[in-house]
Structure 1
Amino acid sequence: MRRFFYIAALLLLTVSVHAAPTWSLVVCHTNDVHGGVDSSEATFMNPEHPPQLGGAASAQRLINQIKQYALEKRSGFLLFDTGDIFQGTLVGTKTKGEAVMRAMNEMQYDAWVLGNHEFDLGREVPEMLMRMADFPTLSANVFDTSGGTMKPFAQPYVIKNYGPVKVGIIGITTAGTVRAAFEENIRNLYFGPEVTALAAYRDTLRQKGVDIIIAACHLGLPYDRWEAWDNLEKHEKEGWKSDYARDAFELARRVPGIDLLFAGDIHVGYQEPWVDPVTHTPCFQGYGRGTNLLCVEFEFDLQTKKLMGWKPFAEDGTLITLLSDRFPRDRKIAETIDTVKSRVEVGWDEKIGEAIIPITRTGENESLMGNVICDAMQWKLKGDIAITNKGGVRTDLPAGTITPRDVFNVLPFDNTLGALTVTGQFLKELFEDKVAYGGSGLYVSGMKIVIDRSKPRGERVVTFEVGGKPYLPDANYRLVTTDYLLEGNSGMDKLTPLRSQAAVESGTFMRDAVIEYLNEHSPIKPKLDGRWTTIGNTP
């Protein structure tokens, strides 16, 4: 294997200490795989001529090489995942994670941390996967409250012994799962504060003589590290409002004494880690969907057990893209995945439509992909307007032939549609609440809205039209949306009391509505039409 090593951070000890005996730990880490264990095309590298990715089978080839390196050097080795392992591809979702867990068992993972999307199909699914796993499932802050008692839902931590060194891994699951999951899917589960749990088990592991503590978190490093850094400094000056952490930046700051932190939940890779300047905890995170493997060697002073530095396994940083021509697929892992695929993916590659241009999610306010989806929702249930959240739209559609598999990759969650009658005033207040909640807005259809963020709360909707005409506060409008938003998620609390009204028409899958729409309207060439516009800055 080509090995390109270079020091990736300032060494934490003086030069004189480097003469002391050292011990190294080699870590391979995955996060947000979302069922991406099969071969796929790296369209993010070249949309027109994408190279081939080998998925878990290529990851196994690379892992075997790095394991051999660690063995020859007599270093410790760890392979673990920080959550969201299955929901997002056909082979992952249709097997309820079974195919992914089979691969992880073959790959000999050391641990897996529960992510919020593990609960998308109900708590029974992670419970089944935990029974399947040949390794510990970790989460220190998720508790089962069935029967009036509170007991850990998963194992809080695992301790690995490497001769003279003991390494402890603490699992943390985002408490935001409560806001992201359907209520029924997390019944009798309590997601506790991340800060409290990590600090408590840090102390527990120190009492047990653990030398090196790793926080394995399904809590993400942000897209914009410098904006997040500014927010962190601001919130620290104002005083922490609770023991819940907004992101992994905040967790690393608020819980000192953590040697390494590995994050997940946000699908942005950090080629170079973020190092908190106060606690000095280095934080790592890879890209999602099984496209890469994070590989780092850490060096510790054997006497003090202090971190001296780290070295990535590639010239350009900690993340290695799993290109199948560089890492040929491991036959055993490939056969494990292909056997399950042949059972669950019949009929998913038939043509159902055609796109004249690529249909992407690009755009701060609206996007071609969001417009098509909401147009399909409005068309299917004959609504005046349709709305959905942006987070459920996971990828783009290519130009050319469109298959059910393509639509599934865009909409991997089994969301259903519902329609209800509301007044114009209700809609105006709903959008005001959404803007106040934060985020980047909604995907919409059948309407035009202009948001002025410089206005006071409750006055930010400055233009609102339905069907090309100014909305009427007392008029009734047919609103089409998803079961996810009807649960009150993504700032849509006003919809929750009305979900029983929409239940009459539930059962139409959002994904099926898009497939039918494409079948009826292809070839399609969507455009941006200014249906959601934002002006001004938040005061």
Structure 2
Amino acid sequence: MFARRLLFTLAILACGLVLACQPASPAPTPTPTPTPTVSSAATATPPATTTPETVHSTPTTDEIRHLTILYTNDEHGWLEPHERDGRRVGGVAELLTRWRTEEGYDPADESFLLLSGGDNWTGPAISSFFDGESAYEVMDAMGYDVSAIGNHEFDFGLDVLKARMAEGLITYVAANIVDAETGNIPEGFTPYTILDANGVRVGIVGLTTTSTPYTTKPNNVASLRFRPYDETLREWVPRLREEGADIVIALGHICLDEIQALVPTAAQLGVDVLTGGHCNEFVADERDGVHIIIGGKHWESYARLDLDVDPTTNRIVSANASLHTHTPDALTPDPDVAMIVARWRDAAADVLEEPIGYTENGIKRGSALYNLVTDAWRFAYPNADIAYTNLGGFRADLSPGVITVGDVYGVLPFDNTLVDVEVSGQDILDNFACCGGTFSGMRFQGGTFVLDNGNPLDRDATYHVLINDFMYAGGDGYLFGEQDPNGYDTTIPWQQPVIEYIRALDTSPEAPLETRIDTSHRGWRR
């Protein structure tokens, strides 16, 4: 595993080095959108430098150091093959086979770096049920060296993330996350690492999306502050160079538009590679000598970047980036990874029987059940002003007695995720007029829609509305996807907040669920 090639990882504790930085307001939440493939440049332009160049003899082919980066992002715990647009895609055991047979990958080969742009865990039950432990184990078995920290790495709490990082099997880097009070790198966090890859010292500095306070549970990151990306690179890239990094990678969980805005700073500092995530984009590009790669999502695709480095100048003399989709058909799963996935699949099946609450009389499809689900979404994602869902997704009632995790999946059986859209009040009314539905955060009262704060829904105001991805894709005729083409797919399975909410209500035969939820009619309609 490449971890054996680790030269050193700088882990600065809260009591350690004080960073000279000023507080900064969080940047606005990026607006993710699928991105078409961008053509890749074959040759890198050397970064600008203020020191005169030294003339060196031309290196021979044997002297050139070759590196291959395999890159994924936004994996979200999708360990198994799954359906996408009518075809099977993904599957980690099959992907490892593809990398071995088609890319020549070997975890023990020092010329390969296996990197992730973050958001490794939150996703289907096989990962979310276990706070991402299954995805972490699989990524270690595949040979991942370093990952950025994504906003969803915080979904299960700061302690869970710190525990994963402390295991040390995969290095997680984030240089722009600081303690909100001291401005120091928080205890347990690592801003950068330097690896020895085929004789090249590769410095990797991490960048986490500044939208994190609004795209994970806010309480989980209340003690942290997320610094601007350019400010962070200006502080840490010179340090990487001082400590002997031959090339520098900014491993980012940031979107393409943010990367493009960062290129001038990166080029000035001599950053060689910028990577992305968070917006599920699929990109290979080169701008001003900076190579940009983003690998898609859910292990359905990946990016490859080949670099040739001149050891006499420590400069990239040639580069080639390529994008690859992954379907599991006709591939024999890697047996070791397949065994790990099967073990976690069996464990997930056991979790479905786990009790999470109690209802005395049962809860049938209607106001009480609709309110329970949409209230749970806003409970888990408080950035939303309104939660809104279609009625066709409700496929079962909650039966009297003990409520299990499996019961929630019976009510909401589809593999949907939650999408945050920004739309006007008029847009919300247009969706209700065309397609009906049910909601949290507003109700129909006195002939108009009224928000929870008592104010009427403003047709001209903009609201964050949490919907499911079926609705966003135009299912049942909903218009949200047209109204906000840049909606943010949180990748949160729509069942997970309901499970957490029922647990939090702490129900029992003495305090059944129906006594702890809003059973009023808010104005839903089919």
**Could you state the TM-score of these two structures normalised by the residue count of structure 2?**
0.60
Provide the C-alpha distance between the structure 2 equivalents of 1:346 and 1:483, rounded to a whole number of angstroms: 34
Structure 1 249/390 Cα, relative in aligned 2: closer, same or farther at 3 Å? farther
Partner of 1:332: 336
C-alpha displacement at 1:156, in angstroms?
A: 1.3
Give the conservation status (yes or no) of the 8 Å contact 1:87–1:412.
no
**Aligned Cα root-mean-square deviation (Å):** 5.0
C-alpha displacement at 1:143, in angstroms?
A: 2.6
Question: Structure 1: which 5+ runs fail to align?
Answer: 1-6, 223-246, 313-317, 350-371, 414-437, 451-463, 491-505, 511-515, 517-525, 528-539
Partner of 1:268: 281
| Aligned partner of residue 209 in structure 1, secondary structure | coil
Provide the C-alpha distance between the structure 2 equivalents of 1:127 and 1:79, rounded to a whole number of angstroms: 21
Give the conservation status (yes or no) of the 8 Å contact 2:90–2:327.
yes
Partner of 2:192: 157
| Aligned partner of residue 285 in structure 1, secondary structure | strand
With 84-93 and 193-202 compared, the bigger mean Cα shift is at: 193-202
C-alpha displacement at 1:39, in angstroms?
A: 2.0
C-alpha displacement at 1:252, in angstroms?
A: 2.2
Structure 1 467/259 Cα, relative in aligned 2: closer, same or farther at 3 Å? same
Provide the C-alpha distance between the structure 2 equivalents of 1:119 and 1:138, rounded to a whole number of angstroms: 14
Q: What are the within-5 Å matches in structure 2 for residues 252-331 of structure 1?
A: 252-256=263-267, 257-270=270-283, 273-276=284-287, 279-312=288-321, 318-331=322-335
Q: Select the residue among 66, 76, 87 that pairs with 1:24.
A: 66
Provide the C-alpha distance between the structure 1 equivalents of 2:156 and 2:230, rounded to a whole number of angstroms: 27
Question: Is 1:208 matched with 2:243?
Answer: yes
Provide the C-alpha distance between the structure 1 equivalents of 2:92 and 2:103, rounded to a whole number of angstroms: 16
Question: Is 1:59 matched with 2:95?
Answer: yes
Q: Which has the higher contact order (CA 8 A, sep 6+)?
A: 2
Provide the C-alpha distance between the structure 2 equivalents of 1:24 and 1:470, rounded to a whole number of angstroms: 66
Give the conservation status (yes or no) of the 8 Å contact 2:205–2:251.
yes
With 97-106 and 301-310 compared, the bigger mean Cα shift is at: 301-310
| Aligned partner of residue 248 in structure 2, secondary structure | strand
Q: Select the residue among 348, 351, 354 that pairs with 1:344.
A: 348
C-alpha displacement at 1:335, in angstroms?
A: 1.1
Give the conservation status (yes or no) of the 8 Å contact 2:178–2:224.
yes
Provide the C-alpha distance between the structure 2 equivalents of 1:101 and 1:128, rounded to a whole number of angstroms: 11
| Aligned partner of residue 205 in structure 1, secondary structure | helix
Query: Deviation digits for residues 293-332 of structure 1, max 9, x if unmatched?
Result: 22232223333232233335xxxxx232221124321111
Query: Deviation digits for residues 167-189 of structure 1, max 9, x if unmatched?
Result: 11111111211222333211322
**Could you state the TM-score of these two structures normalised by the residue count of structure 1?**
0.59
Provide the C-alpha distance between the structure 1 equivalents of 2:373 and 2:174, rounded to a whole number of angstroms: 41
Q: What are the within-5 Å matches in structure 2 for residues 105-184 of structure 1?
A: 105-144=140-179, 151=186, 153-162=188-197, 164-184=199-219
| Aligned partner of residue 245 in structure 2, secondary structure | coil
Q: Please tell me the residue identity of whatever aligns with 1:130.
A: M
Provide the C-alpha distance between the structure 2 equivalents of 1:283 and 1:9, rounded to a whole number of angstroms: 10
Provide the C-alpha distance between the structure 2 equivalents of 1:274 and 1:483, rounded to a whole number of angstroms: 33
C-alpha displacement at 1:132, in angstroms?
A: 3.4
| Aligned partner of residue 68 in structure 2, secondary structure | strand
Provide the C-alpha distance between the structure 1 equivalents of 2:307 and 2:239, rounded to a whole number of angstroms: 23
Structure 1 507/160 Cα, relative in aligned 2: closer, same or farther at 3 Å? closer
Partner of 1:4: none
Partner of 1:11: 43
Partner of 2:423: 441
**Count of paired positions:** 383
Q: Please tell me the residue identity of whatever aligns with 2:303.
A: L
Structure 1 35/449 Cα, relative in aligned 2: closer, same or farther at 3 Å? closer
Structure 1 407/17 Cα, relative in aligned 2: closer, same or farther at 3 Å? farther
Partner of 1:90: 125
Give the conservation status (yes or no) of the 8 Å contact 1:298–1:310.
yes
Provide the C-alpha distance between the structure 2 equivalents of 1:200 and 1:335, rounded to a whole number of angstroms: 43
Provide the C-alpha distance between the structure 2 equivalents of 1:443 and 1:56, rounded to a whole number of angstroms: 42
Partner of 1:251: 262
Provide the C-alpha distance between the structure 2 equivalents of 1:90 and 1:285, rounded to a whole number of angstroms: 25
Partner of 2:415: 409
Query: Deviation digits for residues 315-352 of structure 1, max 9, x if unmatched?
Result: xxx23222112432111111101111111235869xxx
Give the conservation status (yes or no) of the 8 Å contact 1:374–1:445.
no
C-alpha displacement at 1:100, in angstroms?
A: 0.3
| Aligned partner of residue 325 in structure 1, secondary structure | coil
Q: What are the within-5 Å matches in structure 2 for residues 507-518 of structure 1?
A: 507=501
Query: Deviation digits for residues 256-315 of structure 1, max 9, x if unmatched?
Result: 211111111111212xx2322xx3212110111121122232223333232233335xxx
Give the conservation status (yes or no) of the 8 Å contact 1:374–1:444.
no
Partner of 2:81: 39
C-alpha displacement at 1:80, in angstroms?
A: 1.2
Structure 1 319/13 Cα, relative in aligned 2: closer, same or farther at 3 Å? closer
Give the conservation status (yes or no) of the 8 Å contact 1:32–1:288.
yes
Give the conservation status (yes or no) of the 8 Å contact 1:80–1:109.
yes
| Aligned partner of residue 265 in structure 1, secondary structure | coil
Give the conservation status (yes or no) of the 8 Å contact 2:113–2:145.
yes
Provide the C-alpha distance between the structure 1 equivalents of 2:295 and 2:174, rounded to a whole number of angstroms: 20
C-alpha displacement at 1:508, in angstroms?
A: 5.4
C-alpha displacement at 1:410, in angstroms?
A: 1.6
Structure 1 484/470 Cα, relative in aligned 2: closer, same or farther at 3 Å? closer
Partner of 1:103: 138
C-alpha displacement at 1:79, in angstroms?
A: 0.4
